[in-house]
Structure 1
Amino acid sequence: MGEYVVRPLAPDSWDGFAGLAERHNGVFGGCWCTWFHTLSADKERTYEGNRSLKRRLVDEGRAHAALVYDGDEVVAWCEFGTPQELPNIYHRKQYAAELDVLPDYRITCIFVDKRYRRRGLSSVALEGAVDLIAAAGGGVVEGYPHDTAGKKQAVLYNGTRALFERAGFTYVRSKGANNCVMRRTVPVSPPVR
């Protein structure tokens, strides 16, 4: 895994992120990884509308992701942010009714370039997001992966329970029919000297 480098999504890394999204039709039908940013009625749901929204959020510092690079090319990402930045989660009503702790951060989307799948890049991207969260001050981090009981599924927008368990997350409860809430407390990383 030493050949891959993780960098944060930022205005100066937008082109790499956009390149990966464009190679995959804006990801998940043109979402541009914006679905979790806004409640459904709050935005125009088109390829260009989603692209513009994501670009604006990145420029404003309100969209975060760990970008995984192979050389100069972004080949995977893991989106994260505060609940205020990412209010739209699947099964939101159930989640709110069963809420015990509001996390400091959410991990909502993991995506790997189709040419790089089955190489462990979901793990690299997830750990990259955890490292960026630690550098930003750490805290309680939640993910909402698919709880597939080992069965293969076609679309796994946020990875699997097993992926999150390998990254040190603990199962909290189910959410919807095939998702769950996973949690990890991430300590602040010490400053680099």
Structure 2
Amino acid sequence: MTDNAADAAARLVVRLLDTDTWPAFARLVEANNGVWGGCWCMGFHVKVGKGRTSQQNRAEKERRVREGRTHAALVFEGDDCLGWCQFGSPAELPEIKSKRKYEKDLVALPGWRITCFFTGKGLRKRGVAHTALGGALAEIARQGGGTVEGYPEETDDRSVSGSFLHTGPMAAFEDHGFTRTRLISPHRWVVTLNVAPAGGSD
């Protein structure tokens, strides 16, 4: 992270997605075409392809928020939500990328998944993804910790548009201590981290 990005990140605050933060989350999604054309960050909960509208995704996302069945670390600067990192249990987030290859060599499900990141248009290069991931891991620790998986694409030797990196930047995961565990597509990795309970020991 550059010095300018670090200075910007110092002004960021993480808040969890809940009924209080839903309006700010919804404003950001609406300002960005529903996120990926109307997903509303539902794509890892259910299959959101043909036949589902943006309005359906919005309504279901809001219902899950009210019921406490969706989790995200939202990054705020003042009253504005700049982006987020979604996390949850495998039961809550079953629709991961490269799922067939992932399941082929699966030994045991993790306690938690980090499935997707989003930063609003014009708000990148400010440390939002890094801050969001740190917030998600802090909440996971508060809820008892456990094995956490992410599924980022590596970009070590190639240039990739940010729109294709919605499963998160590899650098952010590795900065937070994740290790590459196994390859599940030509460029997508399972990365893992064991998170100790908050207040506990490693």
TM-score (norm. length: structure 2): 0.89
Once the two structures are superposed, residues 111-130 of structure 1 have per-residue CA deviations (whole angstroms, 9 ceiling, x without a partner) of 11122101121101111111
Report the more deviating stretch, 81-90 or 116-125: 116-125
The DSSP-based 3-state class of the residue aligned with 1:3 is coil
Query: Among 71, 81, 84, which residue is 1:74 paired with?
Result: 81
Residue type at the aligned position of 2:33: N
Between the aligned partners of 2:67 and 2:51, the Cα distance in structure 1 is 19
Matched, 1:105 2:112: yes
Aligned residue for 1:169? 178
Between the aligned partners of 1:130 and 1:180, the Cα distance in structure 2 is 19
Aligned residue for 2:130? 123
Matched, 1:148 2:155: yes
Q: Would the aligned equivalents of 1:39 and 1:87 in 2 still touch at CA under 8 Å?
A: no
Aligned residue for 1:26? 34
Between the aligned partners of 1:120 and 1:103, the Cα distance in structure 2 is 27
Residue type at the aligned position of 1:53: E
Between the aligned partners of 1:11 and 1:82, the Cα distance in structure 2 is 20
TM-score (norm. length: structure 1): 0.93
Structure 1 stretches of 4+ moved >3 Å? none
Q: Would the aligned equivalents of 2:42 and 2:48 in 1 still touch at CA under 8 Å?
A: no
Matched, 1:190 2:188: no
Q: Structure 2: give runs of 5+ residues left out of the alignment.
A: 1-8
Q: Would the aligned equivalents of 2:44 and 2:96 in 1 still touch at CA under 8 Å?
A: yes
Aligned residue for 2:14? 6
How many positions carry a matched residue from both structures? 190
The DSSP-based 3-state class of the residue aligned with 1:114 is coil
Matched, 1:35 2:36: no
Q: Would the aligned equivalents of 2:39 and 2:48 in 1 still touch at CA under 8 Å?
A: no
Between the aligned partners of 1:44 and 1:93, the Cα distance in structure 2 is 23
Q: Would the aligned equivalents of 1:144 and 1:182 in 2 still touch at CA under 8 Å?
A: yes
Cα distance change, pair 72–40 in 1 and its aligned pair in 2 (3 A): closer
Cα distance change, pair 139–44 in 1 and its aligned pair in 2 (3 A): farther
The DSSP-based 3-state class of the residue aligned with 1:152 is coil
Task: Among all aligned residue pairs of Structure 1 and Structure 2, give the percentage whose two residues are the same amino acid.
Answer: 45
Q: Structure 1: give runs of 5+ residues left out of the alignment.
A: none
The DSSP-based 3-state class of the residue aligned with 2:193 is strand
Q: How does 1:76-95 map to 2 (within 5 A)?
A: 76-95=83-102
Q: Would the aligned equivalents of 1:5 and 1:69 in 2 still touch at CA under 8 Å?
A: yes
Residue type at the aligned position of 2:165: L
Residue type at the aligned position of 2:95: N
Q: Would the aligned equivalents of 2:28 and 2:82 in 1 still touch at CA under 8 Å?
A: yes
Residue type at the aligned position of 1:82: S
Aligned residue for 2:61? 54
- Deviation of the 1:3 alpha carbon: 1.0
